[in-house]
Chain A
Amino acid sequence: MDFFSLLYYRFKKVWKSVRLYLVIAGPGLVVMIADNDAGGITTYAATGAKYGYHLIWFLLLLIPVAYYVQEMTVRLGAVTKRGHAEAIFESFGAFWGWFSLLDLMIVDWLTLVTEFVGMTAALGIFGVPAWLTVIIVVVLMSILVLNGRYWTWEKIALGFCLLNLIYIPAAFMVNPSIADILGQGLIPNLPGGLTNELFFLLMANIGTTIAPWMLFFQQSSVVDKGLLEKDIKMGKVDTFIGSIITVAIAVFIVIVTGTLLNGAPIDDAATAAKLLMKTNQYVGAFMAIGLFDAGLLGAICISLASSWAFGEIFGWAHSLNTKVKEAPWFYISFFITLATAGVVPLIPGAPLVLITLFVQVVAVTLLPAALVFLILLLNDKKTMGEYANTPLQNIVSTTIVGAIIILSTMYGVSALFPNIFQ
């Protein structure tokens, strides 16, 4: 075989893999990018404003954390063809099943409220009233899910994921010092020592990287897409690329606020967008658009995670490939979750701070349970066969899950008792 034939052969092989990836890609990318939801954007904006570029190295550490946890859901979904809720019910019985399902319902609904808060605040910067934002979001999401095809839904969702990359040009527009980013950001350091405030922010960054709904969403998404055992390899690639992109977006947000808002008190991403507008109108606008998009992506995934879980357990048809007539309860539960959460930010004097606090605390009750179930399920050789966790995978995943449980518990407890770790 001559050189050009070999080159052509290699190209064909790579191109075939790329095409296969493009078919399989979706669940991993969507869940990972949606992970940067409204709450996530606020956390990253606050991280950059408070500590500049100093915590970029910590964000990079979250790539393997997110990947190792989420890739387990790909294997579990592809092998069992069941969502996470159904897998828990069947494997651990009704007690743990109901606990997980009800906890998921509460956490998802509360998180959905925070997404609407983020979206209304983001469009509020452009003068759009909150009620109009809620209507726009509900209509947009209705169009998205009612088309009756998973494939179409996924491609539109990926379009919104693409919009999330808006923070990359924003970061270039603020002219950050590359030398400072490399010097301060890539060398592990704890600016000012491990203070209570820094510890809380580190825990918030972990908390926003792994959320309970992500496990339920990706596994159900893998099942709804119809991925099989042979697709696991590409599903893992999809998840890995997604985890890199989600952390990259976080890093670019930190660069934006670390450059322009260093030292400014940031309570939420909308405040950051308003402050950025005073310095650079376009960057501020990008921040607000990104916040709206992040809230929308989060809302899309979270409301679906709940509906899929309910459908699995109650035995309703629960696929985006079904029409409303074929799966009425799936769509009804989707809209009830969405509409009730959307109304909350419109209520004058609604306890939004309390809701945000509750999200953190209730998530802490669900996340450890969901993660422990995940590892136990991945060790069930009878079900998982050759796709069960290897000893090495168990060491890595148990270490990561153990660390997440300890830190998220401390995060939840410190949200309940702010002075406990001082």
Chain B
Amino acid sequence: MRAINQFLSKIREINQRYAKPTVEMSRGVKFSLAVLRIYLFLLVVLMIYKFITVIKVV
């Protein structure tokens, strides 16, 4: 239990340490990150769809 708590506090510490991105959020950077989010979202949707169809077959 103590180890889990220590681990979780370490995660919180990391989250705090890197809470604010240091890269200058120019239009190009914002656009790239937005496209990346959409791309990854679509990929996850495809994977979930595949998973469901495989489960149905099984």
Question: Which residue numbers of A lie inside 8 Å of B, CB to CB?
Answer: 89-94, 96-97, 99, 313-314, 361, 364-365, 368-369, 372, 376-377, 379-380, 382-383, 409, 412-413, 416-417
Contact = CB atoms under 8 A, between A and B. Distances in A.
Contact of B23 (A97, A361, A380): A380
B26 to A, nearest CB: 9
A372 B32 contact: yes
8 pairs of A and B residues whose beta carbons are closest in the complex: A91-B23, A93-B21, A94-B18, A89-B18, A94-B15, A416-B50, A92-B21, A91-B22
A368 B23 contact: no
Interface of B: 10, 14-15, 18-24, 28-29, 32-33, 36, 39-40, 43-44, 46-47, 50
28 contacts: A89-B14, A90-B18, A90-B21, A90-B22, A91-B22, A91-B23, A93-B21, A94-B14, A94-B15, A94-B19, A96-B33, A99-B40, A314-B14, A365-B40, A365-B43, A365-B44, A368-B36, A369-B40, A372-B36, A376-B32, A380-B23, A380-B24, A383-B22, A412-B43, A413-B46, A416-B46, A416-B47, A416-B50
Contact of B29 (A97, A314, A368, A376): A376
Interface of A is mostly: helix
Interface of B is mostly: helix
A365 B24 CA distance: 24
Given A361-B47, A416-B50, A368 B39 contact: yes
Given A314-B10, A416-B47, A416-B50, A93 B32 contact: no
Nearest to A366: B40
Contacts of B32: 372, 376
A313 B18 CA distance: 10
Contacts of B15: 94
Contacts of A377: 23
